[in-house]
Chain A
Amino acid sequence: MAVIREFVFQGAEMLLVLLLSPLLTGFVRKMKARLLQRQGPPLLQPYRDLIRLMRKEVVLADGASWLFRVNPYIIFAGTWVAASLVPTFRSGLLFSWSADLIAIIALLGSARFFLALAGLDVGTSFGGIGSSREVMIASLAEPAMLMIMFTLALIAGSTQLSTMAAFMLSSEVGLRVSLGLALLALIMVAIAENARIPIDNPATHLELTMVHEAMVLEYSGRHLALIDLTSELKLLLYVSVIGCVFTPWGIAAPDSSPLALAVGFASYVGKLAVGGMLLALFETAIAKMRVFRVPAFLGAALMLGLLGTLLLFVSRSL
């Protein structure tokens, strides 16, 4: 009986992230528009875009292989699995022990691997430019993310997100310099990984500096819908990870009452809203970088993560 209950919660989690992610993207777009004194698209516009894309036919480039057609499903599945393993409103998910934070990062890495391959498949110059820049960014962002994970895992004594969240809620934690370093680095990595300003511009197609959009240039119809949904999921995932580790307040315990679950849900939505708001604010306040300034930006994130880990290694000996 308990197992079935857990299955239901895991399924609910999967559905929840899937349903909320376009809303978060819509919210960020709306906020950005309002900050620029524009009306902006309606909140539900991303859903409409997805439905419209689903209805359209796929125009497949002549040179596209079977991999090109399978890829959107692989990428989507990898990201979806990763996103549904992050505790959102309730910790202790049924399958959360099947993949810890390292595995979640690596799952996102798998998705990126296939996405970069998709960019190369048709053999166009734009796809190649996108893929090659994407892997360059990833080659710094991924180690940075792993260093952040090291910092968190050393503080919490676990690489499991649920355990980390529980530890952060306990009174043992206190304000740690390493935590601050990790948070800053995580935000930098999240911005880069989600192709946001100042690394990449999610709102443009025709710009020589684009990265993510260049990679998926050849996709259309339902394939493009899946790819778009994947990037929305990824944004949600990063906001959830930050929320789960750094602001774990409100997350319901595994065996809590419906009221606690409702509180957990409300606080989760609140965290998403705050995260989206801050992102929009940041994006409007800052200009896009040249591509070759990105390594310095991400290198800084990597160093911060490394510094956090180093401090922990040293302070353990106090």
Chain B
Amino acid sequence: MRGLSFDIAHMLAGSLVLVSFMQLYQDRLYALLNIYALHALILAMSVAWQAFVQDAPHLYLTAVIALVFKAIVIPTALHKIIVRLGIHREIETVVGVGPAMLLGMGLVALAMVVMLRVTAEADPLAREDLAFALSVVLLGLLMMVTRRNAVSQVIGFMSLENGLVLAATGAKGMPLVVEISVAFSVLIAFIVIGIFLFRIRERFDTVDVQALDRFRGERR
């Protein structure tokens, strides 16, 4: 049982990293949204599995929150936003897919080294899970850095947050309140960004955040 539970947790965390890479690879908005939904779904499964293994019922709630909000509500809403903005064909990246993936590999390697070194005496399950979680966070950040489109940046931000939740559930005994507040803060951030998106769109007729820089006169 010990071996199997480790293997499944490990595989779920690993697939989360894999899906982060898929996000990095995908530059079409619809597909990106679907992959994000998959990301959230895997997160929910991972959290649920942790709840089962650790016998911590409050984690089930976290899993449900992840499933409902992140895998269903937010992607659907973003989907609608994209339709209303009419930007579903826009593909804009700052760095090409190849270099971005290479950078991502480097980040995963970095996360591995740091985590495995720091937590030398912790138990192996937590160690690798933490390393994977840090990788997901870093990949989310990378995604935010390498994309121009505001929607992809939002998705990068939310997948970063998924990484945080993964780390939190891996470490035993994180209080429920914190999670719920995190979830809601994300929701609020999402709403704010959504409004923000519409505003940029109205003003500049694009959601390319470079337009903001141009407006501020930073890039010519």
Residues of B within 8 A of A306 (CB): 105
Is A177 touching B14 in the complex (CB atoms < 8 A)?
yes
Residues of A within 8 A of B (CB): 174-178, 180-181, 184, 295-296, 299-300, 303-304, 306-307, 310-311, 314-315, 317-318
Residues of B within 8 A of A (CB): 3-4, 7-8, 10-11, 13-15, 17-18, 21, 25, 96-98, 101-102, 104-105, 108-109, 112-113, 116, 124, 127-128
Residues of A within 8 A of B25 (CB): 296, 300
Is B18 touching A184 in the complex (CB atoms < 8 A)?
yes
Is A303 touching B112 in the complex (CB atoms < 8 A)?
no
Is B8 touching A303 in the complex (CB atoms < 8 A)?
no
Is A180 touching B105 in the complex (CB atoms < 8 A)?
no
Complex Cα gap A177–B13 (Å): 8
Complex Cα gap A303–B22 (Å): 11
Is B105 touching A310 in the complex (CB atoms < 8 A)?
yes
Is A299 touching B97 in the complex (CB atoms < 8 A)?
yes
Q: Which of B7, B11, B14, B112 has the most CB of A within 10 A?
A: B14
Is A300 touching B7 in the complex (CB atoms < 8 A)?
no
Is B14 touching A304 in the complex (CB atoms < 8 A)?
no
Residues of A within 8 A of B13 (CB): 177
Residue of A nearest to B13 (CB): A177
Is B116 touching A177 in the complex (CB atoms < 8 A)?
no
Q: Determine which of B11, B101, B127 lies in contact with A177 in the assembled complex, contact meaning CB atoms within 8 Å.
A: B11
Residues of B within 8 A of A178 (CB): 14
CB distance from A188 to the nearest CB of B (A): 11
Q: List 18 A-B contacts (CB under 8 A).
A: A174-B3, A175-B7, A175-B10, A176-B7, A177-B14, A177-B18, A178-B14, A181-B18, A296-B98, A300-B97, A303-B102, A303-B105, A306-B105, A310-B108, A311-B14, A314-B112, A314-B113, A318-B128
Is B101 touching A303 in the complex (CB atoms < 8 A)?
yes
Q: Determine which of A176, A299, A317, A318 lies in contact with B101 in the assembled complex, contact meaning CB atoms within 8 Å.
A: A299
Complex Cα gap A318–B121 (Å): 10
Residues of A within 8 A of B105 (CB): 303, 306-307, 310
CB distance from B130 to the nearest CB of A (A): 13
CB distance from B114 to the nearest CB of A (A): 12
Is B15 touching A174 in the complex (CB atoms < 8 A)?
no
Q: Determine which of A174, A314, A315 lies in contact with B7 in the assembled complex, contact meaning CB atoms within 8 Å.
A: A174
Q: Which of A181, A295, A303, A311 has the most CB of B within 10 A?
A: A303
Residues of B within 8 A of A303 (CB): 21, 101-102, 104-105
Complex Cα gap A268–B128 (Å): 36
Residues of B within 8 A of A317 (CB): 116
A304-B21 contact, Cβ under 8 Å, with A175-B8, A299-B98: yes
